[in-house]
Amino acid sequence: MIKLENVTKSYSTEVTALRDASFDVAKAEFVFLVGPSGSGKSTLLRLMNRQEKPEKGAVWVAGRNINDMPDTKVPHLRRNIGNIFQDYKLLSNKTVFENVAFALEVIGRPKHVIRQQVPAVLDLVGLAGKQERFPHQLSGGEQQRVSIARAFVNRPLILLADEPTGNLDPTTGEGIMRLLDRINKTGTTVVMATHDQRIVNMMRKRVIQLDRGIIVRDQARGVYE
Partner 1 sequence: MFSRLSYTFREMWASLRRNLTLTVAAVITSSVSLLLFGLTLLIQRGFDNQLSQWSGGVELIVYIENDASPEQIELVRGALEKTPDVIDTSKLEYLDIAQSLVEAQRLFAGDPETLQLLTEKNIPTQFKVVPTPDATPELLTQLALGFDELPKVIQVAFPSDQIEVLATLRGFIGLRLYLITGFLLLSAVLLIWNTIRTAMFARRREIEVMKLVGATNWFIRLPFMLEGLLQGLVGGVVASGAMLLFNANWTSGVKKFPSESGFGAFVVTGSYPMWIVFWIVVLGMLVGAIGSGTAASRFLDV
Ligand X SMILES: Nc1ncnc2c1ncn2[C@@H]1O[C@H](COP(=O)(O)OP(=O)(O)O)[C@@H](O)[C@H]1O
194 binds ligand X, rule: CB under 6 A:
no
Position of minimal CB gap to Mg ion: 42
159 binds ligand X, rule: CB under 6 A:
no
Count of residues in contact with ligand X, rule CB under 6 A: 11
Our CB check for partner 1 shows the closer of 70 and 129 to be 70
Among 21, 25, 30, 43, binds ligand X (CB under 6 A): 43
Among 16, 39, 42, 144, binds Mg ion (CB under 5 A): 42
110 binds partner 1, rule: CB under 8 A:
yes
Neighbouring-strand partners of residue 210: 215
- Shortest CA distance to 85 belongs to which of 48, 45, 54? 45
Tell me the C-alpha distance between 124 and 100, whole Å: 13
- Shortest CA distance to 19 belongs to which of 33, 29, 4, 6? 6
170 binds partner 1, rule: CB under 8 A:
no
39, interface contact from Mg ion, partner 1, ligand X, none, CB < 5-8 Å by kind = ligand X
The identity of residue 42, as a single letter, is S
194 binds Mg ion, rule: CB under 5 A:
no
CB 52 → ligand X: shortest distance, Å? 8
Residues at the interface with partner 1 (CB under 8 A):
49, 71-72, 75-80, 83, 89, 91, 102-103, 105-111, 114, 150, 154
Residues at the interface with Mg ion (CB under 5 A):
42
